[in-house]
A and B are shown apart, each in its own frame.
Chain A
Amino acid sequence: ILNVEQSPQSLHVQEGDSTNFTCSFPSSNFYALHWYRWETAKSPEALFVMTLNGDEKKKGRISATLNTKEGYSYLYIKGSQPEDSATYLCALRSGSSNTGKLIFGQGTTLQVKP
């Protein structure tokens, strides 16, 4: 059974703080690692799809890195804003297909206080 772990489970920061959280996954049979942002009462929104060891991706103040050999990915948010408050999910796609199922972690819930 594939297990994707995220830490911490929740995080409270002040506006302007930079923060990061971790996604750990089994490194064998890796295909891709997805990050999603999920606001309450909305649908999960794709942030990044990462496939190569050493990948770094950036979207505004949010960036992510990937280490497939040791099985982890970091998500960074620089200068957190209240609108960044959401649950951040990572999901592993393994095997050889780009359409196989995604296995999700439990998420990290970020609360940014103004």
Chain B
Amino acid sequence: NAGVMQNPRHLVRRRGQEARLRCSPMKGHSHVYWYRQLPEEGLKFMVYLQKENIIDESGMPKERFSAEFPKEGPSILRIQQVVRGDSAAYFCASSPPNSGENTEAFFGQGTRLTVV
């Protein structure tokens, strides 16, 4: 059972371009979470999705950022018109459905976005 897969591992974008980050959850997991780690900061929650639904987007910036988790395929975090301040490591985690109170979240290795 492969772990949570994120790609690309490293992404360089020029200011104004779009960045697309992909996350394939573990097999059987239907819950996906995106977190961002800015330099010198901890992991900050961005968005929580289930298949075809956004459940909690309270941590998403209001503009330029969007996320989806389609019925088929990976979850995508999309950043339009990137700026230098978007440079960070973006981590995805997944959880299985209905696993009781001890439900764990399993993390991918992250995508490091650099905006030049």
Give the B-binding residues of A (Cβ under 8 A): 31-32, 34, 36, 41-46, 49, 51, 89, 91, 98-107
Give the A-binding residues of B (Cβ under 8 A): 3-4, 31, 33, 35, 41-45, 48, 56, 58-59, 91, 93, 95, 97, 99-110
Q: Which partner residue on chain A sits nearest B98 by CB separation?
A: A98
Are the CB atoms of B102 and A89 closer together than 8 Å?
A: no
Are the CB atoms of A101 and B43 closer together than 8 Å?
A: no
Residue pairs across A and B with Cβ atoms less than 8 A apart, 12 shown, are A43-B91, A43-B107, A43-B108, A46-B105, A51-B102, A91-B43, A101-B33, A101-B48, A104-B42, A104-B44, A104-B45, A105-B42
In the bound complex, how far is the Cα of B58 from the Cα of A89, in angstroms? 21
Contacts of B43 in A (CB 8 A): 44, 89, 91, 104
In the bound complex, how far is the Cα of B105 from the Cα of A32, in angstroms? 12
Q: Which partner residue on chain B sits nearest A2 by CB separation?
A: B45
Contacts of A101 in B (CB 8 A): 33, 45, 48, 56, 58-59
In the bound complex, how far is the Cα of B101 from the Cα of A12, in angstroms? 34
Are the CB atoms of A100 and B104 closer together than 8 Å?
A: no
Are the CB atoms of A43 and B110 closer together than 8 Å?
A: yes
Contacts of B106 in A (CB 8 A): 46
Contacts of A99 in B (CB 8 A): 31, 48, 95, 97, 103
